[in-house]
């Protein structure tokens, strides 16, 4: 499953500093990506990835439990903590922050699409029509083993999310100039975003470099994404994805001056290959930004 959404308001008004550093074809490609995402349907996306079978958390070898375990175990080390955390490309999902919220005071959620930001708003304001994440919250409380109720967990996350903002990872300033976010952040989380909005590997690497500018030296990035996926469905929208391999993710992280602390992969079992995408697996990376910036 994913936590997608490509990036902030619109792709127009592209900043010249970025255009200058980009390949000759990247702008038209980004416009095509932005255009395809206008048909993205959050509810269809949530159904495809966060309702059963993929949203069935009862089997420990499922994709949901694997992602939640990677996050819970990383936060359990106590090394990833601080004041501010930014979730890049939240999409319509909140599960990626359930373990994070105990370790940060100020969380910013972001997405390119207004429909996704609205979907997040429904959950944050406890609207009855919001997507129900309680099975995810329950599962995280279970694996963390702190004796917390799922209601307390959700209450804590809602209290810590201070803003939901537009983002565009293809811009050299992904949150725009003069955004309300306290920068640089102590940590970044990004799930199923970069590969899903990048036309090619070079664009993926640039997007990673752009979001890295938001992170303080020594800060942590938790990155989750699809392995060797080329498309996925979200209602009427059929979105292109840049297929990446584990080694390409590692290279991109090293290139953006991270130390890779952990990199794990999950192979998508046959019964979870449901025809909503051609994903082969999922990667989880924990990376720490170098203290010495080159």
Q: Rounded CA gap, 198 and 7, in Å?
A: 11
Q: The domain containing residue 44 runs over which residues?
A: 28-219+232-243
For position 2, what pLDDT does the model report?
A: 45
Question: Residue 233: beta bridge partners?
Answer: 238
Say what the pTM is: 0.90
Give me the phi and psi of 7, to 5 degrees please: -95, 145
For position 10, what pLDDT does the model report?
A: 37
For residue 227, tell me if it sits in a domain: no
For residue 268, tell me if it sits in a domain: no
Closest CA to 119 of 191, 44, 62: 44
pLDDT in tens, the chain (294 residues): 444 444 333 333 344 333 334 444 467 788 888 899 999 999 999 999 999 999 999 998 999 999 999 999 999 999 999 999 999 999 999 999 999 999 999 999 999 999 999 999 999 999 999 999 999 999 999 999 999 999 999 999 999 999 999 999 999 999 999 888 999 999 999 999 999 999 999 999 999 999 999 999 999 999 999 999 999 999 999 999 999 999 999 999 999 999 999 999 999 999 999 999 999 999 999 999 999 866
DSSP letters spanning 23-71:
-TTHHHHHHHHHHHHTT--HHHHHHHHHSTTTT--SSTTSHHHHHHHHH
For position 274, what pLDDT does the model report?
A: 96
Q: Where residue 72 sits, what CATH number does that domain have? A: 3.40.50.150
Total number of domains in the chain: 1
Q: Which residues sit in the known binding site for S-adenosyl-L-methionine?
A: 45, 50, 89-90, 95, 111, 116, 168-169
For residue 154, tell me if it sits in a domain: yes
* Residues ≥6 apart with Cβ < 8 Å to 228: 243, 244, 245, 279, 280, 281
Question: Residue 215: beta bridge partners?
Answer: 185
Element (H, E) at 269: none
For residue 280, tell me if it sits in a domain: no
For residue 40, tell me if it sits in a domain: yes
Maximum Cα–Cα distance across the chain? 54
Q: Which residues sit in the known binding site?
A: 45, 50, 89-90, 95, 111, 116, 168-169
For position 11, what pLDDT does the model report?
A: 36
Q: Rounded CA gap, 30 and 13, in Å?
A: 12
For residue 210, tell me if it sits in a domain: yes
For position 179, what pLDDT does the model report?
A: 87
For position 107, what pLDDT does the model report?
A: 98
For residue 18, tell me if it sits in a domain: no
For residue 20, tell me if it sits in a domain: no
For position 26, what pLDDT does the model report?
A: 60
For position 119, what pLDDT does the model report?
A: 98
């Amino acid at each position: 499953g994913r936590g997608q959404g490509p990036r902030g308001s619109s792709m127009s008004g592209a900043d010249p500093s970025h255009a200058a550093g980009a390949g000759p074809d990247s702008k038209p490609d980004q416009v095509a990506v932005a255009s395809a995402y206008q048909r993205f349907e959050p509810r269809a996306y949530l159904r495809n990835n966060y309702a059963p079978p993929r949203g069935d958390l009862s089997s420990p070898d499922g994709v949901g439990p694997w992602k939640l375990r990677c996050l819970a175990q990383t936060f359990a080390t106590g090394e990833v903590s601080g004041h501010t955390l930014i979730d890049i490309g939240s999409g319509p999902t909140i599960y990626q922050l359930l373990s994070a919220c105990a370790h940060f005071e100020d969380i910013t959620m972001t997405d390119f699409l207004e429909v996704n930001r609205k979907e997040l708003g429904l959950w944050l304001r406890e609207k009855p029509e919001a997507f129900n994440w309680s099975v995810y919250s329950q599962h995280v409380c279970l694996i963390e083993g702190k004796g917390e109720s799922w209601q307390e967990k959700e209450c804590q996350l809602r209290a810590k999310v201070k803003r939901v903002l537009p983002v565009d990872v293809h811009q050299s300033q992904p949150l725009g100039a003069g955004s309300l976010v306290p920068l640089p952040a102590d940590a970044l989380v990004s799930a199923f975003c970069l590969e899903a909005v990048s036309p090619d590997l070079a664009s993926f690497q640039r997007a990673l470099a752009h979001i890295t500018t938001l992170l303080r030296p020594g800060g942590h990035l938790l990155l989750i994404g699809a392995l060797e996926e080329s498309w996925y469905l979200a209602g009427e929208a059929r979105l292109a994805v840049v297929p990446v391999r584990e080694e390409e993710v590692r290279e991109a992280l090293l290139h953006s001056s991270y130390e890779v602390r952990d990199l794990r992969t999950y192979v998508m079992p046959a019964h979870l290959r449901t025809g909503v995408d051609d994903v082969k697996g999922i990667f989880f990376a924990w990376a720490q930004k170098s203290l010495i910036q080159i």
